[in-house]
Structure formats: structure tokens, C-alpha cells
Structure 1
């Protein structure tokens, strides 16, 4: 992922979702909720993990309290905190604890996206890491029942990860940059 410019983090995140997540079909479930306007792009100005936790709790409550027809999922973008991937990764345990504390375990899950995302046993430069690399650190809040319905309706959900990794290997770094710029992939 190229370093973000001085543009608005939400604008850049929307661009990434449209070009990479939807454009490359990395998440076959994303396009429908995006088109229906059911994705909330929330910007956290938090400068500490504690402040981010407060913003996360607020967004979890909003998602819990808003009908899915209105709000299906939330992308909580936090450009000023947890820039280091290992710190971010450690925070995921805190996010999971917040789900338990708010009695949302099994109701909402937190998916992770970060500019330096790295799967276990991968090298930092491995293209496959880009399936979870976003322009800014981000927590993706998903309704578990929506995930269950989408997975049940998809022909082979277990193949998504392997297909995405193969697609990114095919594109390579240069192809991915062209997709982000809006060129042919």
C-alpha cells in the first residue's frame, strides 16, 4: 500500500474499498452493502489506544442499535493511533474484550485492516498481505448474522482467501498500484 497523501482519510478509504475490495472482488459481499449505502465510514481522531477504545465502544453501540437495513457494517478508520502493526495487533485483544464487556460477542465481530498488515509466517513484502492492507489502520465492525447469511448464500466461501491471494500474486505490486490509480488491472 502506498503511503497516504494529505487527502481526507475517509475519502482515501472509500477509494480503497471501491478499487481494491470491490474492484478486485476481494470481498464478494462488499458491493451490495456499499451500493445500498449501508456502510458507515467513521473517522476516529483518537491519539491514544484508550481514546480509540472509547470511539470503538461508541461505534459498536451505534451498530448494535441501528437496524441492519440502515447500517450493515462500520469501518472505523483511526489514522493517528496504532500506526505500528504489532501495537495494532495487540489492540485487537482489547477490541475483543470490549465485545465481551458490551455483551456483543457472537453479535458483532472486529476484522482487522492495517497499512502494514502481515499474516503469520509471511514476509512483509508478500503480496498476499494486501488482502488486509488498507490506507490507514482500521477496525471493521461486522454483524455476525449478516456474515452467516452471506456465507450460506455463497457457493464456496472457503475458496475466497485462496482466490484472493492468487489474484494478488497475478497482479503483483505494479498491478495493484494501477488498480489504486484507476488504471487497468
Structure 2
């Protein structure tokens, strides 16, 4: 197993700070505030969420950043870093392109022989469930201010499921919470991106071969 990954330039400090602040606000107000994920509060309170702002402007660079962050998470003690949020404000603003990239992300996970050790979840500001309208508030369960890859430990997921055996009920509850909140209520949380996507994004992302 080769966990070595070349470093790539990080996002400029001012932009990275803004993106991270947006993500923390989203986590605190939406994910934790609405209890969309019962397991998020603990790792957030313990400072075990690692935020990384990618400077990538294409999929090749983002895959490189993903490779590095997966390797780092796998070799860092869970009590120091339980999970990683890799944000990509400079590319994959289109949800369908982002969705296609998830196949690349899974290939990177398998390439590092970390399938079964780590897992990749995802969030996107334009996320849309199949069969729903773009303005359907239930889509907000998987929306975040920026295209985001959420790197999780399988062990942590297993422990969470043991602590909350009816995990499938979380999804149903989230749908009910958001439907009661409504899109106006969601917007009132102010958990969107502070920085415009046109300022954050660069040219159209290139597909990996």
C-alpha cells in the first residue's frame, strides 16, 4: 500500500479562511443545529474535524488533493483527526460534473487500498435527489456552501451505527425537519457561500482520463 502523495498548493490564506468559516457555520447551524447528523456534534466539540480548502481548478488537481488527504487521515490517530472535509471552491460547481467525479474519488480510495478503512461521502450546493425539483427543500440535507468531499473512518461509522441502531430513521426524520422548516426557513439560517462561485471558480474542470 502506497500512501505517499505529492503535496499541492493550498488555497490562498484569506480565501481558505473564508471558505472554512462558511463550512463551520453550515456545520453548526444546519448539520448540528437541525440535528441532521446526530454524530457530528461530538467530533466538532472535540475539534476532530479537519478542514481543507483545495486550490484545485480541475479534477486532476482535486484528485491529487484527495489522495493526500486520504493518506493523511489514514495515518493520523482518530483522537486527533476523526474526519476530514475537503472543500473545492474552485472547481466542479456543476452538480452533474461533481457527481461524475465521485467515481474518480472511489478509484483513488481503492488505489490507496483504503476501501474498507475509509469512506467518502459528499455535499454540493446544487445537490438534487433524482425526481425532485431544484427548489425542493429536502435537497438541502446534502447541500453545503461548496463542493465537498467528506472523508470518514469506517470504524467511526460502525461505532455510530451501534450507538444509533435505527440509523435509517435519520433520513426520514431529516426529510420531515426540512419540510417543516421550508426553503424560507433554510435560507434564514444563512449557511450559503460568502464568496461568489464565479470568484472562487476557475475555467471549466478537465475530466480525468
TM-score bin (small chain): over 0.9
**1:6-34: CA deviations, max 9, x gaps?**
88111101100010000000000000000
Question: SS in structure 2 opposite 1:76?
Answer: strand
Counterpart of 2:152 in structure 1 is: 142
Q: Which is further off, 27-36 or 153-162?
A: 153-162
Counterpart of 2:93 in structure 1 is: 83
Question: SS in structure 2 opposite 1:118?
Answer: coil
Kept after mapping to 2: 8 A contact 1:20/1:180:
no
Return the offset for 1:76: 0.2
TM-score, L = length of structure 2: 0.82
Question: SS in structure 2 opposite 1:8?
Answer: helix
Q: 2 CA distance for matches of 1:65 and 1:122?
A: 40
Counterpart of 1:36 in structure 2 is: 46
Unpaired runs of at least 5, structure 1? 1-5
Question: SS in structure 2 opposite 1:180?
Answer: coil
Counterpart of 2:141 in structure 1 is: 131
Give the 5 Å matches for 1:96-111.
Answer: 96-111=106-121
**1:76-107: CA deviations, max 9, x gaps?**
00100101000000000000000100001111
Return the offset for 1:175: 1.0
Return the offset for 1:119: 1.3
Give the 5 Å matches for 1:7-18.
Answer: 8-18=18-28
Question: SS in structure 1 opposite 2:116?
Answer: coil
Cα RMSD for the two superposed structures = 1.2
Q: 2 CA distance for matches of 1:84 and 1:177?
A: 21
Aligned length: 176
The structure, 1 or 2, with the larger RCO (C-alpha pairs under 8 Å, 6+ apart) is 2
Q: Is the aligned partner of 1:177 residue 2:187?
A: yes
Question: SS in structure 2 opposite 1:111?
Answer: strand
